[in-house]
Amino acid sequence: MSWGERLAELGIELPSVPAPVAAYVPAVRSGSQVYTSGQVPFVEGKLQATGKVGAEVSPEEAKRYARTAALNALAAVDALVGLESIVRIVKIVGFVASAEGFTGQPAVINGASELFGEIFGDAGAHARSAVGVAELPLGAPVEVELIVEVS
């Protein structure tokens, strides 16, 4: 089964790649790897939420936003090299705008990790960092970036 067929089976449609908000490109290929810029939870050009997780944004909401950000990152990979060239997800880096004392960053970034497991199975198993930060661009609650191996 192709990755595109797997997405269809799961009822997942890749979004359009969000336009960069500064001087960068959504993804760059270097050899057999694609590195994405950090993606926030944009849907149709609109940021889905602002605020810090553990205060204005619940951990459960943030997990959904991490999934959305991960889909945006996957769309950037698809736009650059095509979904079917993906061999495996190598690494996810997730940033969580965290209220003071919030330590649930790993559970929030599971929104991205679980998505790639659903889509890619064993090829979706990856290394990961989940980092709490004071602020993210545009006030986003989460940001996700990927390193993907491609053929």
Secondary structure of residue 52 in the 3-state scheme: coil
pLDDT at 2 over 90: yes
Q: Is 56 in contact with 142 (CB distance < 8 Å)?
A: no
Of 85, 74, 95, nearest to 26 (Cα)?
74
Output DSSP code: residue 38.
Answer: P
Cα gap 91→145, rounded to integer Å: 8
Cα gap 108→132, rounded to integer Å: 10
Q: Which amino acid is at 20?
A: P
Please state the pTM of the whole predicted model.
Answer: 0.97
Cα gap 109→96, rounded to integer Å: 8
Q: Is 73 in contact with 23 (CB distance < 8 Å)?
A: no
pLDDT at 95 over 90: yes
Output DSSP code: residue 141.
Answer: S
Q: What is the pLDDT of residues 29-57, one digit of tens each?
A: 999 999 999 999 999 999 999 999 999 99
